[in-house]
Chain A
Amino acid sequence: MKAFFVGRHRRNSELVLIILSGVVTTGAYVLAAVGRLSSIPANVLPFLIVVLGLFFAAHVATRFLAPEADGLLLPLAGLLNGLGYVFIARLNDELAAQQAVWTFLGVGLYCLTLLIVRRSHDLEQFRYILLLFGLLLLVLPLLPVIGQTINGSRIWVRVGPVNFQPGEFAKLALAIFFASYLVDKRELFRAATWRVGPLRLPEPKHVAPVVLAWGVSLLVMISQKDLGTSLLFFMLFLLMLWVATERLAYLLTGMVLFMVGAYVAWTQFGHVQIRVDAWLKPWEDPLGSGYQVIEAQFGLASGGITGTGPGRGYPQRVPAAETDFIFATIGEELGLLGATAVLMAFVLMIGSGLRAALGARRPFSKLLATGLTGLLGVQAFIIIAGVTRVLPLTGVTLPFVSYGGSSLLANYAILAIIVRISDEQTDRPVDAPTPGRRRPKAAAGAR
């Protein structure tokens, strides 16, 4: 009974938050139309009804399929998705229409995932199938006929009229594999009985499949010239290895390896050098490689604290304003306040995801939730860092916000799995305080 109340309480606040995010989205939509066309769009009411209806459906699905799940995740995804849609619509009507379809499909996939994956550890048994599936997805774009090169990256597959990036789904498949395999073998990884000079490493035969999976995915990524996704895979692998083994040495070694790898890539590959130059000294080629980043900085600067107002800026001057640079669009038109709200939404989403991980009882679920949350967080960080010139630009989408069907679908599937894991804490864990219940101090460090 207690659990039921907790769940109902969470579901009700989820509903309130969904309504709130729907209203915010609609408000932004109206402002953008007024700013751009100086008129209130005729379809405000239908728009509000559709936005609310869509996420209300997801809410109902959650209420039935994952009644005790965290109540923040879905409204946050809805808010980010809604804001993203408003700015895509403000930039390009045609893409907005497609994004609307993808949003429908994404929410559908969210419900479907909740329906199919009733227990997160069911996924464990498919680990090798998923590994195979993930690797297959990764090499798909390299195949002739269906493989497509768009903007210099061969990461697209064309089936009929639809283009999609299989790599987006490979992330999910490989995260499940890593979680399952690492949990299984983590004692062996921790044992580290193999001495190589001063280093003590795990036995090669245990490490082999992981290194293989990681190496292949990385190689594929590099051959496809998709720096962002390869960085993402590497970080995902590293994070999960560290959390699973609880050995910081893995993380540090990985970081050092990454530095070395990055340096080698910088000296060897022209397209990496261009990215680094565009980051460190964009002003040396302001109309060429530095153009996108410089225009993004100009856009952010013109937004200032409160922004130019939706529809009143010039975000279309930044190439890829609807996709990788959507954050620059938001920063320009909603200003520091709006951009910070987006940052906060991601921080809250990461917080909820990690809380689900802390509360998960099975190590597999714990590791999977950590990996998937880390994936969302790292992806958001590296693209925002690229747009704001904190890091070199690596083209990945801003989860839930950017235009992109594959990305949106994959992220809703990821969200559904995190929601599923957060739902599996019937016996309230020590780390997730619930109303009316104090956290026992002594157990705070328990795994």
Chain B
Amino acid sequence: MNRQIRQLGVAMLVLFALLFARLNWVQVFDAEQLTADPLNTRRVVRDFGQRRGNIFTADGVVIAESIDVEGRFDRERRYPEGPLFSHVTGYFSFEFGATGVERSYNDELAGHSATQRFESFFDFFGDGDISADVTLTIDSELQRVAANALGERRGSVVALDPRTGAVLAFYSWPTFDPNAISNTDLEAARAAKDALDKAPGEPLLTSAHRQVFPPGSTFKVVTASSGLENGVVTPSDPVFPDVVSYQLPLTEVSLQNFGGSVCGGNLAQSLARSCNTTFAKLGAEYLGPGPMIATAERFGFNDAPPFDIPLIADSRFPDDFGIQLGQSNQTPSAPIVEGSSLLAQASIGQFDVRATPLQMALVAAGIANDGDIMKPHVVDRVSDAADGALLAQIDVELWRQAVVPSVANTTAAMMVGVVESGTATSLARGNLTVGAKTGTAEVNTFSGAEDTHAWVIAFAGLREGEPELALAVIVEAVPGQGQQTGGAVAAPIAAALIDAHFG
């Protein structure tokens, strides 16, 4: 019988080896897929019930915290400031998941990042709290000023430090109250989400970084930079003709200056007065498609900046204007292509050019920071919730060099001219250097409707210092409300932010 007993032993060994192999498959090789399975709510329930760190503004205001509740879940997420920061923090819902920083820093807030797990490994006798607090770069006062200045108008305000990319204010209206969706009364949360999905203006879809708009005349900063960078113009030469309209290449169609006015002069004068005719001609007849596309893309178009709030939209600049048909009769000469008339419109931020408000703030930031656009970010640091020890400090990093420093400084000087004697004189401040560019973007160039988005992009710094604030403001077109100009509608919001920051 011993032979059979040994065979039985071998058979049992084989069977248990099979179990071991299977365990390796389930727990290691297939684990990621099983964890990602939509039926697997284990992780959500875990994250939901566990301690979760607070989110603070840069000046120490608690804008997200967890409170103990009774019921199926141990804790519920609360947002003491209600709708003010909802587009930054996002919400944290059992059924709808997380958005905003709640999502991008979920692992840190819940204590699941590699560092935290590693530390907790040696912390058997701690109180088991390995969650972390997240401190933002957002300044609560500036955010409040932005919200008050925008009021109940559809639009966005993005303000950041051009030297670091730290976002100081990030507000869009319509907004929403994240408390409603994060409710652990799932019935109520569902009703709130449903109502918000149906609400006008899509409050859940942050317009500051998830929606794109024609940037209109604010884009002329990019066109001017491209002209300087490619050496086809200087601020003073050539002098563009004073005209009412510009006939688009290869067409019988004319592009008007704003309000049908006569406009022209050198580049600096044209930027101050926002002459459509000058910049359309500069783009179509002096630069041509190649240089225009290249500069736009170096500023970040046809891409999305790395950002710590998820779901950022790509800003767009058309990258195909058709084949070359001839050569313009300017000096220097640019190729005339099938789409030169469209390129002319793109050069003033119309046609198919689309940008997020964040992207336009980065254009201003790049000009203000010697041409270097820093990585935008809303999170400054992550620290241990229990003892406040610093776990991670977000690095200041270069995103891309848009233009060389000399070009950036020349463009910046021309933007200062816009404030001193152009369309944004309301932003002039005696003790500050302020540069700006307004925009009044037609929602649809060819519909004949007069509704416009009001834009302004700006930077500001102390007289003898570097610019320390860059911003973009858009007040969206209201159908049927007619024209609203950047100078009259958007600039006061920018003024409020500048005054609050330097006040």
Q: Which residues of A contact B124 (CB under 8 A)?
A: 31, 34
Closest to B50 in A: A312
The reply to whether B19 and A385 contact each other, CB–CB distance below 8 Å, is yes
A343 in contact with B129 given A243-B5, A286-B39 (CB within 8 Å) = no
Q: Is A363 an interface residue (CB 8 A)?
A: yes
The reply to whether A370 and B27 contact each other, CB–CB distance below 8 Å, is no
Q: Is A192 an interface residue (CB 8 A)?
A: no
Closest to A337 in B: B27
Q: Is A335 an interface residue (CB 8 A)?
A: yes
State which of B26, B31, B128 has its C-beta within 8 Å of the C-beta of A38: B128
Q: Which residues of A contact B3 (CB under 8 A)?
A: 246, 445
User: Given A34-B128, A301-B35, A377-B15, list of 9 further CB < 8 A pairs?
Assistant: A243-B4, A283-B39, A298-B35, A298-B39, A347-B13, A370-B4, A385-B19, A388-B22, A431-B2
CA distance A239 to B39 in the complex (A): 41
Q: Which residues of A contact B (CB under 8 A)?
A: 31, 34-35, 38-40, 239, 242-244, 246, 283, 286, 294, 297-305, 314, 317, 331, 335-336, 339-340, 343, 346-347, 350-351, 354, 357-358, 363, 366-367, 370, 374, 377, 381, 384-385, 388-390, 431, 445-447
Q: Which residues of B contact A343 (CB under 8 A)?
A: 16, 19-20, 23
Q: Which residues of A contact B24 (CB under 8 A)?
A: 336
- What's the least CB distance linking B73 to chain A, in Å? 13
The reply to whether B5 and A340 contact each other, CB–CB distance below 8 Å, is no
CA distance A286 to B6 in the complex (A): 42
A447 in contact with B26 given A31-B124, A294-B39 (CB within 8 Å) = no
The reply to whether B35 and A302 contact each other, CB–CB distance below 8 Å, is yes
The reply to whether B5 and A300 contact each other, CB–CB distance below 8 Å, is no
A370 in contact with B5 given A298-B37, A301-B26, A335-B27 (CB within 8 Å) = yes
**B12-43 interface (Cβ within 8 A of A):** 12-13, 15-16, 18-20, 22-24, 26-28, 30-32, 34-35, 37, 39-40, 42-43
Q: Which residues of A contact B23 (CB under 8 A)?
A: 300, 331, 336, 339-340, 343, 388
- What's the least CB distance linking A27 to chain B, in Å? 10
CA distance A384 to B18 in the complex (A): 11
The reply to whether A346 and B1 contact each other, CB–CB distance below 8 Å, is no
A298 in contact with B34 given A38-B128, A243-B5 (CB within 8 Å) = yes
Q: Which residues of A contact B16 (CB under 8 A)?
A: 343, 346-347, 381
Closest to A290 in B: B39
Q: Is B127 an interface residue (CB 8 A)?
A: yes
State which of A31, A367, A377 has its C-beta within 8 Å of the C-beta of B1: A367
Q: Is B45 an interface residue (CB 8 A)?
A: yes
- What's the least CB distance linking B6 to chain A, in Å? 7
CA distance A351 to B16 in the complex (A): 12
The reply to whether B39 and A384 contact each other, CB–CB distance below 8 Å, is no
The reply to whether A370 and B42 contact each other, CB–CB distance below 8 Å, is no
Q: Is B463 an interface residue (CB 8 A)?
A: no
Closest to A370 in B: B5
Q: Is B8 an interface residue (CB 8 A)?
A: yes
- What's the least CB distance linking A301 to chain B, in Å? 4
Closest to A186 in B: B1
Q: Which residues of A contact B27 (CB under 8 A)?
A: 300-301, 303-305, 331, 335-336, 339
Q: Is B9 an interface residue (CB 8 A)?
A: yes
The reply to whether B26 and A370 contact each other, CB–CB distance below 8 Å, is no
The reply to whether B19 and A390 contact each other, CB–CB distance below 8 Å, is yes
Q: Which residues of B contact A335 (CB under 8 A)?
A: 27
Q: Is B122 an interface residue (CB 8 A)?
A: no
The reply to whether A388 and B28 contact each other, CB–CB distance below 8 Å, is no
Q: Which residues of B contact A34 (CB under 8 A)?
A: 124-125, 128
CA distance A343 to B15 in the complex (A): 11
Closest to A356 in B: B5
- What's the least CB distance linking B20 to chain A, in Å? 6
Q: Mark B29-63, 1 if CB is under 8 A from A, else 0.
A: 01110110101101101100000000000000000
A381 in contact with B12 given A40-B125, A298-B42, A304-B31 (CB within 8 Å) = yes
CA distance A39 to B124 in the complex (A): 10
Q: Which residues of B contact A390 (CB under 8 A)?
A: 18-19, 22
State which of A38, A305, A340 has its C-beta within 8 Å of the C-beta of B127: A38
CA distance A246 to B3 in the complex (A): 8
